[in-house]
Structure 1
């Protein structure tokens, strides 16, 4: 059930020293491929980084977040085209990429893998390290691997539904 994967998903910041199997990585990437996008443009390119030295060299560019070094896989999501236009250049592409990555996080959670969205990064430094062309801006990064159970997850509280949903008209 989808809600099971949603409930299991959390931002993993401690990973086991265990590689992600090729078939599982392929399923996570397939979830992105199947994600909806405006006009079916799929305006993304995913750079999958598994080389430990490369991941270590990226830590500085990712705001010094040391836990990233533990992740056996780092996925860099870049724009590959502008996407549909919502009045602001690239807005549609950014929305589509976030949908694709959310699909990936849920697929990963359903298979016992953990992920962490990384939004604190220097896009120019990441592009230089991975030879990403300037016309393909970095949108978000995703750490992927097996969660380390020695660092238990404590669920964060969520607002009750009645604070998040209004019926028929907006109410404050």
Structure 2
């Protein structure tokens, strides 16, 4: 998908990473649906082990639902300030129920069947919670790509985990086994984020 926004406003990956800050106050200007879909198309291309793609994204634009999500997020005002909220979840039980959908269509049928059997054997050896945690590690890859994509396409965001997960599951009618990567308010910023405060490379990198 190539939109006018992409042609005119896209930042380089370097620019998007360097300029991204967590924003907590947004303009109420709506985000066009084609811009939302462009962000989601980029997220859809995220890599995952065995190509299992466990992320599931809920796009919230209804204000009354955002008010309820804000209440579940202990009153954090960015939830209703932003015109769009992405709730990024991981659902490994859905993945396991549809393993054939993740196998590359170019493989021979026999190879596809073997791949599905191997994956089923592996994941059936794990508990639901273990499977859920495994899927969450993969979904966090997609979350990172989402944050950079949002910034690169001219919007701002803030990833949140400060919310009552049980309440959010009830609001979105999600099963108990689902894991949350983040709630992500998105929009045009009306405030500046704090300057970056990050560890130096010497703290986080070891050469071997």
Structure with the higher helix share, 1 or 2: 2
CA displacement 1:37-65 (0-9 Å, x = unmatched):
11100112111110011101111211221
* Structure 1 gap ranges (5+): none
- Stretches (4+) displaced over 6 A: none
Deviation digits for residues 56-88 of structure 1 (CA, Å, limit 9, x no counterpart): 111121122122110111111222215786x84
Asked if 1:165 is matched to 2:176, the reply is no
Flag structure 2 segments of 5+ consecutive residues without an equivalent: 1-11, 96-121
Count of paired positions: 165
More relative contact order in 1 or in 2 (CA 8 Å, sep 6+)? 2
CA gap of 1:160–1:136, structure 2 versus 1, over 3 A, is: closer
1:80–1:136 Cα contact (<8 Å) kept = yes
TM-score, length of structure 1 as denominator length: 0.87
Query: CA offsets, 1:15-54, max 9 Å, x none?
Result: 0111111121111111221001111001121111100111
Give the whole-Å Cα distance in 1 for the aligned partners of 2:202 and 2:155.
31
Using structure 2 for the length normalisation, give the TM-score: 0.73
Looking at structure 2, the residues matched to 38 and 121 of structure 1 have their Cα atoms a distance apart, in angstroms, of 28
In structure 2, the residue matched to 1:62 is 73
Q: Is the 8 A contact 1:81 1:136 kept in 2?
A: yes
Aligned-residue RMSD, C-alpha: 1.8
The answer to whether the 8 Å contact 2:132/2:179 transfers is no
